[in-house]
């Protein structure tokens, strides 16, 4: 690629020996046209480069592979993990990576490292395209572990406060973690089949031991999935516990209110019956203190009787 083309197009490239890595960030129709002119890629695959709704897949051709992968990126503002798509063409003498957003820091960092440091360029590009492709995947997959670690820490924090914090706060935290887990699982699950295909199948232009290298990537991916499954079980258990605590607290409140109403019901009934028929001190028809004393005594006795009855039934 000439300097003029490199200036006009959003394409960076580095070469070592016969191998070239083309790095495309936020591809447009111009970059896709360049790929169409310089490679024999299928038009549908080139259309997929511009699309952001492709599912992870692997398309095999005689001299190259086209691979679509998604990797998680944590959105701090909305507290959710979102997928970021990477489209990869890999042949015997080239690797082309294209992604639509600038949030895949491991990929950008790896490319800059190979671009700046000659030793890294010789190490990763000096063997084969499959070796470079393995390390690209390794960087991207390893980037998932810190995100998984943050989710695990959040789950541990919820376990510590679920019995001490207010119910609305813990329910909100559990809901946010559960949403993040669902999004993360949607990103990782389709990847497993694609990476296992790389591990299992044999491609003539791959000059590395696929079972060893991509088996390592597959193991890491399965480990991430197992971690997500463990977090999901814990979060489901915490959600069930939170629901039980909420129900228990509601029952406690209803029990106290019921006891109060049961104790106040007889005095309320008596005061309603006798309130307008007995002359009391301070009323329109001023009466003696004796009727008031008798009425209050009866109300107290009935209330105390209800209280001891509830204690006898062990409802209090």
According to the model, what pLDDT value does residue 21 have? 93
Residues 137 and 133: their CA atoms lie apart, in Å, by: 6
Short-list 117, 156, 124, 155, CA closest to 139:
124
What average pLDDT does this structure show over 232-254? 82
Q: What is the pLDDT of residues 193-223, one digit of tens each?
A: 888 888 887 777 776 677 788 888 889 899 9
Q: How would you classify the pairing of strands 64-75 and 80-91?
A: antiparallel
Q: Is the dihedral of CA 40, 41, 47, 51 positive or negative?
A: negative
Q: Choose the most confident range, by mean pLDDT, from 73-77, 84-88, 99-103.
A: 84-88
Q: Above 50 in pLDDT, residue 3?
A: no
Q: Which of 63, 51, 59, 123 is nearest to 94 (CA)?
A: 63
Judged against a pLDDT cut of 50, whether residue 257 lies above it is answered with yes
Band of pLDDT at residue 183, cut at 50, 70 and 90: confident
Q: pLDDT at residue 238 above 50? A: yes
Q: What is the per-residue pLDDT for 280?
A: 58
Determine the pLDDT at residue 247: 81
93 close to 130: Cβ distance less than 8 angstroms: no
Mean pLDDT (the chain, rounded): 81
| pLDDT given for residue 180 in this prediction | 86
pLDDT digits (tens, 9 = 90+) for 4-61: 455 567 888 898 888 999 998 888 888 889 998 888 899 899 888 888 777 888 988 8
**Which overall architecture, per CATH, does domain 3-247 show?**
2-Layer Sandwich (3.30)
Cα distance between residue 112 and residue 114, in whole Å: 5
Which pLDDT score, from 0 to 100, does residue 286 have?
58
d(CA 295, CA 278): 9
CA atoms within 13 A on the CB side of 241: 15
Give the Cβ contact number of residue 214 at 10 Å: 24
Predicted model pTM: 0.74
The arithmetic mean of pLDDT across residues 299-315, rounded, is 77
At residue 285, the 3 state secondary structure works out as: coil
pLDDT reading at 95 higher than 90: yes
Phi/psi for 42 (5° steps) reads: -70, 140
The half-sphere exposure of 44 on its side-chain side, counting CA atoms within 13 A, is: 6
Closest CA to 188 of 148, 133, 240: 148
Q: Which of 61-70, 238-247, 295-304 has the highest mean pLDDT?
A: 61-70
Q: Is the pLDDT of residue 282 over 90?
A: no
* 148-160 pLDDT per residue, tens: 888 888 888 887 7
Average pLDDT over residues 220-243: 87
* pLDDT reported for residue 315: 66
User: Is the predicted pLDDT of residue 165 greater than 70, yes or no?
Assistant: no
Structural domain spans, the chain: 3-247, 275-312
Rg (CA), the chain: 35
Q: Say how far apart CA 132 and CA 125 lie, in whole Å.
A: 6
Identify the H or E element spanning 23: strand 19-25
What is the per-residue pLDDT for 279?
62
Choose the weakest-confidence range: 21-35, 68-82, 126-140. 68-82
Cα–Cα distance for residue pair 167/154, rounded to 1 Å: 17
């Amino acid at each position: 690629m000439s300097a003029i083309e490199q200036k006009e197009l959003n394409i960076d490239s580095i070469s070592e020996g016969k191998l070239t890595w083309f790095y495309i960030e936020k591809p447009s129709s111009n970059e896709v046209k360049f790929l169409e002119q310089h490679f024999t890629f299928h038009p549908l695959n080139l259309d997929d480069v511009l699309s952001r709704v492709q599912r992870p897949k692997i398309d095999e051709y005689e001299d190259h592979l086209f691979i679509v992968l998604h990797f998680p990126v944590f959105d701090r503002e909305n507290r959710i993990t979102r997928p970021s798509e990477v489209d990869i063409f890999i042949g015997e003498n080239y690797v082309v990576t294209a992604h639509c957003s600038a949030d895949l820091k491991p990929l950008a960092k790896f490319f800059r490292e190979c671009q700046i440091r000659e030793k890294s360029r010789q190490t990763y590009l000096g063997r084969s395209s499959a070796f470079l492709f393995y390390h690209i995947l390794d960087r991207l997959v390893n980037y998932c572990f810190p995100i998984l670690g943050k989710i695990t820490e959040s789950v541990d924090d919820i376990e510590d406060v679920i019995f001490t914090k207010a119910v609305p706060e813990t329910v909100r935290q559990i809901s946010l973690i559960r949403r993040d887990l669902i999004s993360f699982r949607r990103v990782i699950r389709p990847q497993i089949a694609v990476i296992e295909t790389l591990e299992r199948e044999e491609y003539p232009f791959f000059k590395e031991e696929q079972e060893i290298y991509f088996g390592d990537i597959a193991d890491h991916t399965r480990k991430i999935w197992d971690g997500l499954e463990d977090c999901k079980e814990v979060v489901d258990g915490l959600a069930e516990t939170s629901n039980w605590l909420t129900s228990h607290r509601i029952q406690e409140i209803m029990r106290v209110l019921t006891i109060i109403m049961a104790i106040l019901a007889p005095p309320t009934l008596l005061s309603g019956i006798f309130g307008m028929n007995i002359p009391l001190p301070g009323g329109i028809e001023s009466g003696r203190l004796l009727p008031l004393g008798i009425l209050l005594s009866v109300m107290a006795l009935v209330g105390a009787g209800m209280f001891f009855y509830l204690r006898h039934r062990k409802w209090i």
